Structure 1
Amino acid sequence: MRRLLEITLLTVLFAGWIHAQDQLPPLSLQHQVETEADSGLFHRLQRSETWQSGDTAVIVCDMWDAHHCYRAVQRGTEMAPRLNALLEKLRAAGVTVIHAPSSCMAAYADTPARQRAIEAPAADSHPEKIAEWCHQIPSEQRGVYPIDQSDGGEDDTPEEHAAWEQELVRRGLNPRQPWKRQMDAIAIDQKRDYISDSGVEIWNILADKKIDNVILTGVHTNMCVLGRPFGLRRMAAAGKNVVLVRDLTDTMYNPASKPYVSHFTGTDLIIDHIERYVCPTISSDQILGGQPFRFKNDKRKRVAMLIGESEYFTHTTLPPFAIEHLGKDYQVDIIHASASDGNAFPGIERIAQADALLVSVRRRALTPEALKVVQDYVAAGKPVLGIRTANHAFTLRNKPAPEGHVNWPEWDAEVFGGNYTNHYGNQMQTTVQVVETAKSHPILEGVEPTTFPAGGSLYRVAPLQPGANVLLTGSVQGKPSEPVAWTFKRADGGRSFYTSLGHVKDFATPAFQQLLKNAIEWSLFAPRT
């Protein structure tokens, strides 16, 4: 009997191990939903799913051995080893691997992987237009495509492009279409993998193996990965559980085109578009561990914006400010308050990943867990910036927090060195003045004119805490002047910046825009003193 129990136990444990091998690690699918209908504002959310490896395929899109864009080649070459490691891990887990280097099938005509794709049994039915390029699916009509790629998206310098074209000609290749096969850095297992660039063939493979889950990776997301017959749009429209590996992809985007942001921000904008209107995304570290892949030239610091106020419309002014003034140098992550529960900020945990935090929140009481995210960020000594109502962000006026929520009444004094008590009447025009002794401060560089009208009422904040360095003051007729912008070194050693500017009219003022941009740069890069 004892021996029988031991055998039974071993059988159960072995069966459990086999089952575990059939499952991928839990995947965190990132997707975006509107804060409310037709708002044009989005929460970036995560949901966990567990996929069976036998029900899953990964498609490698157009990781060619050459390209007409020199910088695209450099990025693809840099990304390839990480992508290959991902394929090895997925293949070992039992995931079907499909290599799809478009227009390169001749190079693989006699290989087992190519023949395996050709010989896959025909599916009983095929999605409409599965053999054709897809330029848009209906869900995308709700949004505005975020980048201008009408010039083809090449981001080479003229000198780089000319030299690369000469090199391609020297190799005997067509400079406009030099690819011949998939790059060698991505291994093809001829015993198990498939090679195809046909939407029909790839659909046959998926149908034959009863695959419902599809992972897309490769280049270029805004063109081939989205549009190919086997791409994200076709897979999503056909009802597959399709995801993009957002850190193992690239775009064809030229920063000289709208919206005039860095190449990497252009990629981020396309990923935003995909998460909102096409399908969720995952990152390679969910399979491989460690950190997500990042291109070596992507040196952008991450700026998180926490927005939750309805009086000054910063939910409409800060996002375009982020694109126009920060898109070249920073990666901006905007976290909005919930439209149905103003004390909730879906995705607030992402603050922990930020290098700088900009707050535009008015009188919200957070849950203890959410507030701890903010407090832990501050305690880590990271930069904090606040505009307008940020000095009374996390405390309600003369009333306790709702059940299950907490106030942080010391926030203003501890984080900004402030002392907000009220404001002067809205009908009283505020004049802002640069402090004479602060004119050389880097936050004031290019802030012109040195005297200008404020858009909103003057906040009463004096006296500030020791250690505050006032940069701007404001005055209204017949009242003492008040600090309007200042820096503050916190007890935790971190640096803060606060300004009571931030009214919707202020964002139309070049002086304020320059001030805020400078403050972000100062908070991240100014030497510590």
Structure 2
Amino acid sequence: MILPIRRLLGSFCALALLIAPLAAGDLQMKLRFQQETAPDSGHFHQLTRDEAWKPEKTAIIVCDMWDLHHCRNAVLREQQFAPRLNAVLKQARDAGVIIIHAPSGCMEKYADHPSRKRAEQTPKAADIPTDINTWCYQIPSEEDGIYPVDQSDGGSDDDPKQHAAWAAELTAQGLNSKIPWSKQTDMLTIDPERDYISDKGDEVWSILAQKNIDNVILTGVHTNMCVLGRPFGLRQLSRNGKNVVLMRDLTDTMYNPGAWPFVNHFTGTDLIVSHIEKFVCPTVTSDQIVGGEEFAFADDKRPHVVMVMAEDEYETAQTLPQFGGDFLGRDFRVSYVYGSETDRNSIPGLEKALATADVLLISVRRRALPPEQLEALRKYVAAGKPMVGIRTASHAFGLRGKEPPEGTETWEEFDAEVWGGNYTNHYPNGMKSMIETVEANAKHPILRGVSREPFPQVGSLYQTAPLAAGTTMLLTGTVEGKPAEPVAWTFRRADSGWSFYTSLGHKEDFQNKSFQRLLLNSIYWAAGLEVPNHFDLTKPAPPQRKG
């Protein structure tokens, strides 16, 4: 029995009916990919490029959108995005795109279907690649990266009672609860006059060859398993020269949050998509075919935290991604944006990231920016959205009054306007300071779980006083014989948005549990979430293997 779907479909069916038809002519595709900031840096710019595809030279392969699955949650998620996928297939088909349905292991069900016969009768291509009929576990480009999730437990995210009840229901229907699928879901239309049905690598390759297909879109489930590894999957098509992409918003993963890296299920999907963009192929979204917005799962409530890193002194390009990977994946979607390695005054991908950011964390030092990048930042702040800043964020976009390079702009008032600060200089590194809680504000949520015991600061103490009206001081730092300086505070900006800033953020601060908790709390607070009373600051150990 198919699960009840009325509640799950909701607006998605309405959306499919309201979307305007795909315009005639080329498909205007925006491919997202990741490029290493510098050789062997381990950091990646998230970039896009525009391509125009001929519909008649394009195919969509629908991978394993089965009618049932042994994981109940997997079925529920598939039922959420199936109506949107069906709308994509209809409009792409009508534009001249070839549709190949690939419900693996179900060919017997379609033995007499015209679309299956069409695939079987397609002449074998002369250039069928070696091993095209085998599963592909890795391609050479992936050897440079660590596979981002542990799926060795099969990836089911059902809770045990739910999973047992679902298995019993499948068994009662006379099905094998471990392999209950027998066909593609009926929520997707198969056009008997135009579509193909095949789960065989050589057949799919031959269809592509006969139709002179250059461009292939993969969609369906599950990205970390079938979509990547099948004979017709991303790896095989990528390594054999097809211009293949993943439709990243119409897919899912088999990932259990109880496995490493112990993150939200949807964060697990994001990690796999990121791996694909770095090492396998670009990605696209369904709105490029049907218009409107990208599809999003109803249960994906994660705020989007964007971390912007463009400073060299404190190595936050290493510490912040490590921090985000260790501690934020449970409740947040996290993106990382890096300053250019070849152009000091550019932060590639900043505008795109800001368009969907819910919290912006800044770790930048004295950069001028192209006008379009700085304008995107100004618009984000003016919208009253939350900001978090560490260390050099107080002088992120100022050049001490110097003229910026041609074609760039500065924001000299950034400290005062965004953080409510007044950075003027810092004490010499040799002058040690002690950090203390402002007792009058000790119950502030950002200080929850932060030790009340004074602790030594690793880096130099910033001179930040006096703060602007609208600030609430949380921590101070003192150098012997000098007045106390504000070290951490919140600020209600003129645009009514909230900011948190701390002059902590030295590389070694990230080993201090008080600083870890302070920064964690500030992100929860900025996102409007309840700051946890307790948080396990033990870093999850990765499995001792790849893939």
Q: Secondary structure at the match of 2:261?
A: coil
Give the equivalent residue in structure 2 for 1:108: 110
Contact 1:35-1:338 at 8 Å conserved across structures: yes
**Equivalences for 1:38-57 in 2 at 5 Å?**
38-57=40-59
Q: CA deviation at 1:139?
A: 0.5
Q: Are 2:464 and 1:477 aligned?
A: no
Q: Are 2:389 and 1:409 aligned?
A: no
Equivalent residue letter for 1:474: G
Structure 1 unmatched ranges of 5 or more: 1-18
Give the equivalent residue in structure 2 for 1:436: 439
Equivalent residue letter for 2:42: G
Q: CA deviation at 1:21?
A: 2.8
Contact 1:22-1:54 at 8 Å conserved across structures: no
> Cα deviation per residue 1:380-426 (whole Å; 9 max; x = unaligned)?
01001100000000011352211111111111001100000000111
Query: Partners of 1:280 and 1:210 in 2: how far apart?
Result: 21
Match for residue 220 of structure 1 among 215, 218, 222: 222
**Equivalences for 1:340-359 in 2 at 5 Å?**
340-349=342-351, 350-359=353-362
Q: Are 2:167 and 1:165 aligned?
A: yes
Match for residue 33 of structure 1 among 28, 32, 35: 35
Match for residue 229 of structure 1 among 209, 228, 231: 231
> Cα deviation per residue 1:298-350 (whole Å; 9 max; x = unaligned)?
00011111110000000000001111111111111111000111210000102
Deviates more, 1:122-131 or 1:34-43: 122-131
Query: Partners of 1:492 and 1:160 in 2: how far apart?
Result: 47
Give the equivalent residue in structure 1 for 2:256: 254
Give the equivalent residue in structure 1 for 2:286: 284
Q: Are 2:428 and 1:425 aligned?
A: yes
TM-score, normalised relative to structure 2: 0.92
Query: Partners of 1:314 and 1:434 in 2: how far apart?
Result: 24
> Cα deviation per residue 1:330-385 (whole Å; 9 max; x = unaligned)?
11111100011121000010212211110000000112221111111100010011
Contact 2:401-2:412 at 8 Å conserved across structures: no
Query: Partners of 1:430 and 1:67 in 2: how far apart?
Result: 59
Q: Are 2:280 and 1:275 aligned?
A: no
Q: Secondary structure at the match of 1:169?
A: helix
Q: CA deviation at 1:261?
A: 0.8
Give the equivalent residue in structure 1 for 2:295: 293
> Cα deviation per residue 1:221-249 (whole Å; 9 max; x = unaligned)?
00000000000000001100000000000
Equivalent residue letter for 1:484: V
Q: Secondary structure at the match of 2:355?
A: helix
**Equivalences for 1:497-508 in 2 at 5 Å?**
497-508=500-511
Q: Percent identity?
A: 59
Equivalent residue letter for 1:233: R
Equivalent residue letter for 2:26: Q
Contact 2:69-2:179 at 8 Å conserved across structures: yes
Contact 2:400-2:412 at 8 Å conserved across structures: no
Query: Partners of 1:43 and 1:194 in 2: how far apart?
Result: 37
Query: Partners of 1:23 and 1:418 in 2: how far apart?
Result: 51
Query: Partners of 2:42 and 2:155 in 1: how far apart?
Result: 26
**Equivalences for 1:90-489 in 2 at 5 Å?**
90-349=92-351, 350-489=353-492
Query: Partners of 2:453 and 2:468 in 1: how far apart?
Result: 25
Q: CA deviation at 1:449?
A: 4.1
Query: Partners of 1:190 and 1:352 in 2: how far apart?
Result: 41
Give the equivalent residue in structure 1 for 2:64: 62
Change (3 A) 1:447 1:222: same
Q: CA deviation at 1:450?
A: 3.5
> Cα deviation per residue 1:46-75 (whole Å; 9 max; x = unaligned)?
000000000001000000011111111111
Q: Secondary structure at the match of 1:54?
A: helix
Give the equivalent residue in structure 2 for 1:10: none
TM-score, normalised relative to structure 1: 0.95
Contact 1:22-1:94 at 8 Å conserved across structures: no
Give the equivalent residue in structure 1 for 2:14: none
Contact 1:449-1:511 at 8 Å conserved across structures: no
Q: CA deviation at 1:195?
A: 0.4
Query: Partners of 1:399 and 1:493 in 2: how far apart?
Result: 30
Q: CA deviation at 1:79?
A: 1.2
Contact 2:114-2:193 at 8 Å conserved across structures: yes
Q: Secondary structure at the match of 1:30?
A: strand
Query: Partners of 1:175 and 1:142 in 2: how far apart?
Result: 38
Q: Secondary structure at the match of 1:425?
A: coil
Contact 1:130-1:229 at 8 Å conserved across structures: yes
Q: Secondary structure at the match of 2:118?
A: helix
Query: Partners of 1:468 and 1:35 in 2: how far apart?
Result: 36
Q: CA deviation at 1:20?
A: 7.0
Equivalent residue letter for 1:488: F
Equivalent residue letter for 2:221: V
Alpha-carbon RMSD across the aligned residues, in angstroms, is: 1.2
Match for residue 82 of structure 2 among 80, 83, 86: 80
Change (3 A) 1:20 1:254: closer
Query: Partners of 1:166 and 1:35 in 2: how far apart?
Result: 51
> Cα deviation per residue 1:266-320 (whole Å; 9 max; x = unaligned)?
0000000000100000000111111111111100011111110000000000001
Structure 2 unmatched ranges of 5 or more: 1-21, 531-547
Equivalent residue letter for 1:99: H
Give the equivalent residue in structure 2 for 1:494: 497
Query: Partners of 2:235 and 2:106 in 1: how far apart?
Result: 22
Query: Partners of 1:220 and 1:68 in 2: how far apart?
Result: 13
Change (3 A) 1:385 1:20: closer
Give the equivalent residue in structure 1 for 2:519: 516
Rg comparison, structure with higher value:
1
